[in-house]
Chain A
Amino acid sequence: MSQHSSNHGHGHHEEHSHGSMKSYSIGFLLSIVLTIIPMVVVFNGLLERTATLLVILITAVAQLLVQLIFFMHIREADKPRYNLMALVLGGIIVITIVAGSVWIMSFNSVVQ
């Protein structure tokens, strides 16, 4: 099993270990599409406020994943994926800081 996978890995070394022209092109196309979608929605006022906000945030996160997978090759890192772990921890901290700030500052009007 392991021999099979190592043979397979050898045969497609160029494509799989560090990305290929194909994967970069797919990533580029996807990120353009994911950029155009929220722009079209916002500039033409296609949706109501909450739905527009959701579209903007979802396409942004999708674009983050596209860049991480197709451009930064997060899936092809060495065995213990310390970079992925650090990134997840960073993401948790950022979400806590941003959501926590918005939440706590929403009490500003109550206090005044």
Chain B
Amino acid sequence: MAQHIVSPEVHEHHTQEQESLKTAGFWLFLVSDVLLFGTLFAVYVVLVGHTNGGPTGKELFEIPIFVASTFILLTSSFTSGIAVLQMQANKLKGTIFWLVMTLLLGGAFLFLEIEEFMTMVHEGANIGTSAFLSAFFTLVGTHGIHVTMGIFWCIGLILQLRKRGITTVTKRKITNFSLYWHFLDVIWIFLLSVVYLMGVM
């Protein structure tokens, strides 16, 4: 009987330990993703000068677009942080609101990126034009795919939050999502620096 009374607490403690272990595992995933982007950055840096007579970054990159993308993603990194704060204060509505804001900003970022890619392809600068453009589309596109997956993940989280509320499990999921989103912002900062700013220099 006594054991029956104790067991839910023990169980709760056990799940919490498991959840923090899952967050630790998520960190390992992020580090492996750092390696993926690291190799793509290496390819880009090596091939950036090989334009095959085609357009260079200076001719292709539009300053207002990538400046806007940068501040949109930076702000969305901040809003996903606020969502975590709201979650820690056990405010379900606030958490969902700030996740939706993150989602909208992420969508705006993706819209600008797709627009940029379409314009470039229309101008005849596609993935097969030169080694520089192959590296460019692979590197920036991989980041874009990550953002797309983040958006679907965020939609799933919002649905789950509405259904189950803030529990140990949804808390861990939101924590991991915000880690992922901050990570994507960091990758973008390096894309901005190495690809865009150095490209228009």
Contact = CB atoms under 8 A, between A and B. Distances in A.
A100 B82 CA distance: 39
B63 A98 contact: no
B92 interface: no
Interface size class on chain A is 35 or more
Interface residues of B, number: 45
A52 B35 contact: no
B38 A83 contact: no
Contacts of A56: 193, 197-198
A70 to B, nearest CB: 8
A65 B85 CA distance: 20
Contacts, number: 118
Nearest to A82: B24
B28 A86 contact: yes
A86 B27 contact: yes
A90 to B, nearest CB: 4
Interface string B16-55: 0000100010011011101101110111011000000000
Given A19-B85, A32-B74, A78 B27 contact: no
Given A32-B74, A87-B34, 20 more contacts: A18-B85, A27-B78, A28-B74, A35-B70, A39-B197, A53-B198, A60-B190, A64-B190, A67-B185, A67-B186, A71-B185, A72-B179, A72-B182, A78-B20, A83-B28, A90-B32, A90-B35, A90-B38, A98-B45, A102-B46
Interface of B: 20, 24, 27-28, 30-32, 34-35, 37-39, 41-43, 45-46, 63, 67, 70-71, 74-75, 77-78, 81-82, 84-85, 88, 178-179, 182-183, 185-186, 189-190, 192-194, 197-198, 200-201
12 contacts: A28-B81, A35-B192, A38-B197, A39-B197, A43-B200, A49-B201, A56-B197, A63-B186, A67-B77, A82-B27, A94-B38, A100-B42
